[in-house]
Amino acid sequence: MILRLAIIGFGNVGQEFARMLMAKRDWLLKSKGLDVEVHVISTKNRGSITSKQPIDLEKALRVMKTEGTLKSYGHETTTLKPAELLSKSDADLMVELSTLNIESGQPARDHIRIAMENGMDVITANKGPIAFEYNDLRNMARSRGVHFRFEGTVMDGTPIFNLVERTLPGCEIIGLTGILNSTSNFILTQMSAGITMDDAIREAQRRGFAESDPSLDIDGWDAAAKITALANVLMDAQANPKMVQRTGIRNVRGEDIREAALKGKKIRMIASARPTADGVELTVSTDLIGPDHLFWSVDGTSSALTIRTDLMGDLTIIETNPSVTQTAYAVFSDMLLIVEAIRAGTV
Protein backbone atom coordinates (compact mmCIF):
# COMPACT_ATOMS: atom_id res chain seq x y z
CA MET A 1 0.00 0.00 0.00
CA ILE A 2 1.30 3.46 -0.92
CA LEU A 3 0.20 6.34 1.31
CA ARG A 4 0.77 9.85 -0.08
CA LEU A 5 1.06 12.67 2.45
CA ALA A 6 0.70 16.45 2.42
CA ILE A 7 2.40 18.04 5.44
CA ILE A 8 1.17 21.54 6.34
CA GLY A 9 3.67 23.05 8.76
CA PHE A 10 7.30 22.01 8.86
CA GLY A 11 8.60 23.26 12.18
CA ASN A 12 10.13 21.11 14.89
CA VAL A 13 7.33 18.54 14.93
CA GLY A 14 7.06 18.33 11.15
CA GLN A 15 10.78 17.85 10.76
CA GLU A 16 10.91 15.22 13.50
CA PHE A 17 8.01 13.39 11.86
CA ALA A 18 9.93 13.41 8.57
CA ARG A 19 12.97 11.95 10.34
CA MET A 20 10.72 9.29 11.88
CA LEU A 21 9.34 8.34 8.46
CA MET A 22 12.90 7.91 7.17
CA ALA A 23 14.07 5.92 10.21
CA LYS A 24 11.04 3.62 10.14
CA ARG A 25 10.77 3.20 6.35
CA ASP A 26 12.12 -0.37 6.29
CA TRP A 27 9.98 -1.33 9.28
CA LEU A 28 6.87 0.12 7.65
CA LEU A 29 7.54 -1.81 4.45
CA LYS A 30 8.33 -5.10 6.20
CA SER A 31 5.85 -5.06 9.07
CA LYS A 32 2.96 -3.09 7.58
CA GLY A 33 3.43 -3.42 3.82
CA LEU A 34 3.25 0.36 3.80
CA ASP A 35 5.23 2.76 1.62
CA VAL A 36 4.78 6.35 2.81
CA GLU A 37 5.51 9.12 0.31
CA VAL A 38 5.43 12.86 1.02
CA HIS A 39 4.24 14.91 -1.96
CA VAL A 40 3.57 18.30 -0.32
CA ILE A 41 5.43 20.23 2.37
CA SER A 42 4.02 23.68 3.11
CA THR A 43 5.33 26.35 5.48
CA LYS A 44 3.96 29.79 6.27
CA ASN A 45 7.10 31.82 5.52
CA ARG A 46 9.92 29.41 4.73
CA GLY A 47 8.94 28.03 1.35
CA SER A 48 6.88 25.08 0.16
CA ILE A 49 7.39 22.04 -2.04
CA THR A 50 4.94 20.16 -4.24
CA SER A 51 5.93 17.25 -6.41
CA LYS A 52 4.36 14.42 -8.40
CA GLN A 53 7.33 12.31 -7.31
CA PRO A 54 8.05 11.62 -3.61
CA ILE A 55 9.87 14.51 -1.94
CA ASP A 56 13.43 13.69 -0.87
CA LEU A 57 12.97 14.14 2.88
CA GLU A 58 16.68 13.92 3.63
CA LYS A 59 17.32 16.79 1.21
CA ALA A 60 14.41 18.83 2.56
CA LEU A 61 15.66 18.44 6.12
CA ARG A 62 19.21 19.30 5.10
CA VAL A 63 18.14 22.45 3.25
CA MET A 64 15.95 23.53 6.15
CA LYS A 65 18.77 23.01 8.63
CA THR A 66 21.48 24.76 6.65
CA GLU A 67 19.45 27.60 5.14
CA GLY A 68 16.38 27.87 7.36
CA THR A 69 14.13 27.69 4.31
CA LEU A 70 12.89 25.27 1.66
CA LYS A 71 13.08 27.87 -1.10
CA SER A 72 16.33 26.46 -2.51
CA TYR A 73 15.16 22.82 -2.49
CA GLY A 74 14.81 22.76 -6.26
CA HIS A 75 12.38 23.31 -9.11
CA GLU A 76 9.57 21.71 -7.08
CA THR A 77 9.39 24.71 -4.74
CA THR A 78 6.26 26.82 -4.97
CA THR A 79 4.68 30.00 -3.64
CA LEU A 80 1.18 28.48 -3.54
CA LYS A 81 -0.65 28.77 -0.22
CA PRO A 82 -1.73 25.63 1.69
CA ALA A 83 -5.34 25.90 0.49
CA GLU A 84 -4.21 25.89 -3.15
CA LEU A 85 -1.71 23.11 -2.58
CA LEU A 86 -4.33 20.91 -0.93
CA SER A 87 -6.88 21.59 -3.66
CA LYS A 88 -4.39 20.62 -6.37
CA SER A 89 -2.80 17.68 -4.53
CA ASP A 90 -3.62 14.01 -4.99
CA ALA A 91 -2.41 13.22 -1.45
CA ASP A 92 -4.33 10.59 0.52
CA LEU A 93 -3.72 12.12 3.94
CA MET A 94 -2.99 15.61 5.25
CA VAL A 95 -0.88 16.15 8.36
CA GLU A 96 -1.74 19.57 9.82
CA LEU A 97 1.05 20.95 12.00
CA SER A 98 0.63 24.72 11.74
CA THR A 99 0.97 27.00 14.77
CA LEU A 100 -1.89 27.46 17.25
CA ASN A 101 -4.00 30.59 16.78
CA ILE A 102 -5.71 31.03 20.14
CA GLU A 103 -8.13 33.64 18.78
CA SER A 104 -9.88 31.39 16.27
CA GLY A 105 -7.97 28.18 15.53
CA GLN A 106 -7.42 29.42 11.97
CA PRO A 107 -6.06 28.75 9.39
CA ALA A 108 -5.75 25.14 10.60
CA ARG A 109 -9.55 24.73 10.65
CA ASP A 110 -9.76 25.73 6.99
CA HIS A 111 -6.86 23.45 6.06
CA ILE A 112 -8.73 20.52 7.59
CA ARG A 113 -11.99 21.39 5.85
CA ILE A 114 -10.30 21.72 2.45
CA ALA A 115 -8.48 18.42 2.91
CA MET A 116 -11.71 16.64 3.85
CA GLU A 117 -13.55 18.25 0.92
CA ASN A 118 -10.87 16.76 -1.33
CA GLY A 119 -11.32 13.30 0.18
CA MET A 120 -8.19 13.29 2.33
CA ASP A 121 -7.88 11.68 5.71
CA VAL A 122 -6.61 14.15 8.32
CA ILE A 123 -4.19 14.11 11.24
CA THR A 124 -3.56 17.23 13.27
CA ALA A 125 -1.34 18.06 16.23
CA ASN A 126 -2.78 21.59 16.30
CA LYS A 127 -5.18 21.85 19.23
CA GLY A 128 -6.97 24.90 17.78
CA PRO A 129 -9.40 23.06 15.48
CA ILE A 130 -10.32 20.59 18.25
CA ALA A 131 -10.77 23.41 20.77
CA PHE A 132 -12.90 25.58 18.47
CA GLU A 133 -14.75 23.31 16.05
CA TYR A 134 -14.47 19.65 17.02
CA ASN A 135 -18.10 18.61 16.55
CA ASP A 136 -18.42 20.16 13.09
CA LEU A 137 -15.10 18.71 11.90
CA ARG A 138 -15.95 15.27 13.29
CA ASN A 139 -19.33 15.36 11.56
CA MET A 140 -17.75 16.52 8.31
CA ALA A 141 -15.24 13.66 8.44
CA ARG A 142 -18.09 11.19 8.92
CA SER A 143 -20.17 12.64 6.10
CA ARG A 144 -17.17 12.60 3.75
CA GLY A 145 -16.13 9.09 4.79
CA VAL A 146 -12.64 10.18 5.83
CA HIS A 147 -10.62 9.57 8.99
CA PHE A 148 -9.82 12.34 11.48
CA ARG A 149 -7.27 11.84 14.26
CA PHE A 150 -5.59 14.26 16.69
CA GLU A 151 -3.70 12.41 19.43
CA GLY A 152 -0.81 14.91 19.39
CA THR A 153 -2.96 17.88 20.38
CA VAL A 154 -2.69 17.22 24.14
CA MET A 155 0.20 15.75 26.16
CA ASP A 156 2.39 15.12 23.11
CA GLY A 157 2.34 11.41 22.27
CA THR A 158 0.66 10.19 25.45
CA PRO A 159 -2.36 8.12 24.35
CA ILE A 160 -5.26 10.01 25.89
CA PHE A 161 -7.91 10.00 23.18
CA ASN A 162 -6.87 6.54 21.99
CA LEU A 163 -6.95 5.24 25.56
CA VAL A 164 -10.56 6.27 26.02
CA GLU A 165 -11.65 5.26 22.52
CA ARG A 166 -10.02 1.84 22.48
CA THR A 167 -9.83 0.65 26.09
CA LEU A 168 -12.73 2.26 27.96
CA PRO A 169 -15.84 1.19 26.02
CA GLY A 170 -19.02 2.04 27.87
CA CYS A 171 -17.32 4.42 30.31
CA GLU A 172 -18.66 7.94 30.64
CA ILE A 173 -16.02 10.59 31.30
CA ILE A 174 -17.33 12.68 34.19
CA GLY A 175 -14.30 14.86 34.92
CA LEU A 176 -10.80 15.85 33.81
CA THR A 177 -7.99 17.42 35.83
CA GLY A 178 -4.47 17.98 34.62
CA ILE A 179 -1.17 19.80 34.50
CA LEU A 180 -1.22 20.39 30.76
CA ASN A 181 1.25 23.19 30.03
CA SER A 182 4.84 22.02 30.34
CA THR A 183 6.38 25.48 29.99
CA SER A 184 4.49 26.92 32.96
CA ASN A 185 5.22 23.80 34.98
CA PHE A 186 8.92 24.16 34.19
CA ILE A 187 8.86 27.83 35.20
CA LEU A 188 7.18 27.07 38.54
CA THR A 189 9.67 24.25 39.20
CA GLN A 190 12.58 26.58 38.47
CA MET A 191 11.12 29.27 40.71
CA SER A 192 10.91 26.69 43.52
CA ALA A 193 14.69 26.42 43.20
CA GLY A 194 15.07 30.17 43.70
CA ILE A 195 15.25 31.26 40.06
CA THR A 196 13.26 34.30 38.96
CA MET A 197 10.38 33.93 36.53
CA ASP A 198 12.19 35.98 33.88
CA ASP A 199 15.29 33.79 34.11
CA ALA A 200 13.16 30.63 34.05
CA ILE A 201 11.40 31.86 30.89
CA ARG A 202 14.75 32.59 29.25
CA GLU A 203 15.96 29.10 30.12
CA ALA A 204 12.80 27.56 28.65
CA GLN A 205 13.36 29.60 25.49
CA ARG A 206 17.00 28.52 25.34
CA ARG A 207 15.93 24.88 25.57
CA GLY A 208 13.51 25.41 22.72
CA PHE A 209 10.11 24.65 24.29
CA ALA A 210 9.03 28.23 25.03
CA GLU A 211 8.19 30.76 22.33
CA SER A 212 9.84 34.18 22.12
CA ASP A 213 6.52 35.49 23.44
CA PRO A 214 5.55 33.15 26.31
CA SER A 215 2.13 34.73 26.87
CA LEU A 216 0.12 31.72 25.70
CA ASP A 217 1.86 29.61 28.33
CA ILE A 218 2.12 31.89 31.36
CA ASP A 219 -1.34 33.44 30.87
CA GLY A 220 -2.94 29.98 30.71
CA TRP A 221 -4.19 30.12 27.12
CA ASP A 222 -2.38 26.98 25.98
CA ALA A 223 -3.77 25.03 28.95
CA ALA A 224 -7.22 26.50 28.22
CA ALA A 225 -7.06 25.25 24.63
CA LYS A 226 -5.97 21.81 25.78
CA ILE A 227 -8.64 21.33 28.45
CA THR A 228 -11.23 22.56 25.93
CA ALA A 229 -10.03 20.06 23.33
CA LEU A 230 -10.15 17.25 25.89
CA ALA A 231 -13.61 18.23 27.11
CA ASN A 232 -14.98 18.65 23.59
CA VAL A 233 -13.88 15.17 22.57
CA LEU A 234 -14.37 13.25 25.81
CA MET A 235 -17.28 15.11 27.45
CA ASP A 236 -19.11 16.68 24.48
CA ALA A 237 -18.52 20.12 25.99
CA GLN A 238 -19.05 22.04 22.70
CA ALA A 239 -16.91 24.81 24.15
CA ASN A 240 -14.06 27.04 23.02
CA PRO A 241 -11.02 28.38 24.92
CA LYS A 242 -12.62 31.78 25.47
CA MET A 243 -15.22 30.09 27.69
CA VAL A 244 -12.57 28.85 30.15
CA GLN A 245 -12.30 30.55 33.56
CA ARG A 246 -8.58 31.24 33.37
CA THR A 247 -5.84 32.36 35.75
CA GLY A 248 -2.26 31.90 34.57
CA ILE A 249 1.01 32.16 36.45
CA ARG A 250 2.08 35.63 35.26
CA ASN A 251 1.47 37.17 38.70
CA VAL A 252 3.05 34.37 40.76
CA ARG A 253 5.99 35.83 42.71
CA GLY A 254 9.02 34.21 44.24
CA GLU A 255 7.54 35.19 47.61
CA ASP A 256 4.41 33.16 46.82
CA ILE A 257 6.53 30.12 46.00
CA ARG A 258 8.48 30.46 49.25
CA GLU A 259 5.33 30.90 51.35
CA ALA A 260 3.85 27.79 49.78
CA ALA A 261 7.03 25.82 50.53
CA LEU A 262 6.90 26.89 54.20
CA LYS A 263 3.45 25.32 54.34
CA GLY A 264 4.76 22.15 52.72
CA LYS A 265 2.98 22.91 49.46
CA LYS A 266 3.67 23.74 45.80
CA ILE A 267 1.98 26.07 43.34
CA ARG A 268 0.84 24.39 40.13
CA MET A 269 -1.27 25.54 37.20
CA ILE A 270 -4.11 23.03 36.93
CA ALA A 271 -6.77 22.74 34.24
CA SER A 272 -10.06 21.01 34.88
CA ALA A 273 -13.40 20.13 33.33
CA ARG A 274 -16.43 19.10 35.33
CA PRO A 275 -20.09 18.61 34.43
CA THR A 276 -22.64 21.05 35.79
CA ALA A 277 -26.37 21.51 35.34
CA ASP A 278 -25.58 23.98 32.54
CA GLY A 279 -23.01 21.90 30.68
CA VAL A 280 -19.28 21.52 31.34
CA GLU A 281 -17.37 24.01 33.48
CA LEU A 282 -13.79 24.60 32.32
CA THR A 283 -11.12 26.23 34.46
CA VAL A 284 -7.40 26.95 34.50
CA SER A 285 -6.13 28.08 37.89
CA THR A 286 -3.00 28.35 40.02
CA ASP A 287 -3.55 26.01 42.95
CA LEU A 288 -1.72 24.99 46.10
CA ILE A 289 -1.12 21.25 46.27
CA GLY A 290 0.36 19.11 49.04
CA PRO A 291 2.38 15.88 49.16
CA ASP A 292 -0.84 13.86 49.15
CA HIS A 293 -1.84 15.24 45.74
CA LEU A 294 -1.41 12.96 42.71
CA PHE A 295 0.44 15.73 40.88
CA TRP A 296 2.98 16.41 43.65
CA SER A 297 5.82 14.72 41.74
CA VAL A 298 4.97 16.30 38.37
CA ASP A 299 7.90 18.69 37.98
CA GLY A 300 9.84 20.27 35.13
CA THR A 301 8.32 19.77 31.69
CA SER A 302 6.32 16.76 32.82
CA SER A 303 2.54 16.78 32.55
CA ALA A 304 -0.31 14.72 33.97
CA LEU A 305 -4.00 14.06 33.50
CA THR A 306 -6.60 12.43 35.74
CA ILE A 307 -9.59 11.05 33.86
CA ARG A 308 -12.65 10.50 36.07
CA THR A 309 -15.02 7.83 34.81
CA ASP A 310 -18.33 6.41 35.98
CA LEU A 311 -17.28 2.74 35.78
CA MET A 312 -13.48 2.68 36.17
CA GLY A 313 -13.04 5.40 38.77
CA ASP A 314 -10.07 7.72 38.36
CA LEU A 315 -7.20 6.99 35.97
CA THR A 316 -4.07 9.16 36.12
CA ILE A 317 -1.43 9.31 33.39
CA ILE A 318 1.91 11.08 33.89
CA GLU A 319 4.23 11.99 31.02
CA THR A 320 7.80 12.61 32.14
CA ASN A 321 9.81 15.40 30.47
CA PRO A 322 8.77 14.75 26.85
CA SER A 323 10.57 16.02 23.76
CA VAL A 324 9.39 16.86 20.25
CA THR A 325 9.84 13.17 19.40
CA GLN A 326 6.77 12.29 21.47
CA THR A 327 4.55 14.70 19.53
CA ALA A 328 5.91 13.42 16.22
CA TYR A 329 5.18 9.90 17.41
CA ALA A 330 1.55 10.85 18.05
CA VAL A 331 1.28 11.79 14.37
CA PHE A 332 3.07 8.57 13.38
CA SER A 333 0.75 6.42 15.51
CA ASP A 334 -2.34 8.23 14.18
CA MET A 335 -1.12 7.46 10.66
CA LEU A 336 -0.84 3.76 11.47
CA LEU A 337 -4.31 3.69 13.03
CA ILE A 338 -5.76 5.31 9.92
CA VAL A 339 -4.05 2.73 7.70
CA GLU A 340 -5.45 -0.01 9.95
CA ALA A 341 -8.95 1.46 9.63
CA ILE A 342 -8.64 1.80 5.84
CA ARG A 343 -7.69 -1.85 5.55
CA ALA A 344 -10.56 -2.85 7.82
CA GLY A 345 -12.96 -0.73 5.78
CA THR A 346 -14.05 1.37 8.79
CA VAL A 347 -14.24 5.12 9.45
Using alpha carbons, select from 271, 252, 247 the residue that is nearest to residue 190: 252
CB 128 within 8 A of CB 109: yes
CB contact at 8 A, 328 and 16: yes
Query: What pLDDT is attached to residue 345?
Result: 87
Per-10-residue mean pLDDT of the chain, 347 residues long, equals 97 96 98 97 95 96 95 93 94 96 94 97 97 97 98 95 96 98 97 96 91 92 98 97 97 96 97 96 97 96 98 97 94 98 89
pLDDT value, residue 108: 96
Alpha carbon distance 230, 163 (integer Å): 12
- The C-alpha atoms of residue 28 and residue 336 are separated, in whole angstroms, by 9
The pLDDT assigned to 331 comes to: 98
pTM over 0.85: yes
b/e map 32-45, b = 16+ CB within 10 Å: bebebbbbbbbbee
**Structural contact between residues 127 and 229, judged by C-beta atoms closer than 8 angstroms:** yes
Q: How far, in Å, CA of 156 to CA of 165, rounded? A: 17
User: What is the reported pLDDT for 17?
Assistant: 98
- Residues in Cβ contact with 254 at an 8 Å cutoff, skipping those fewer than 6 apart: 191, 194, 196, 197
Q: What pLDDT is attached to residue 347?
A: 77
Domains identified in the chain and CATH numbers: 2-157+325-344 (3.40.50.720), 166-321 (3.30.360.10)
Q: What's the pLDDT at 212?
A: 83
Q: What is the pLDDT of residue 210?
A: 86
| Residues that are catalytic | 226
Q: What pLDDT, on the 0 to 100 scale, is given for residue 346?
A: 86
Q: What are the tens digits of pLDDT across the range 90-100?
A: 999 999 999 99
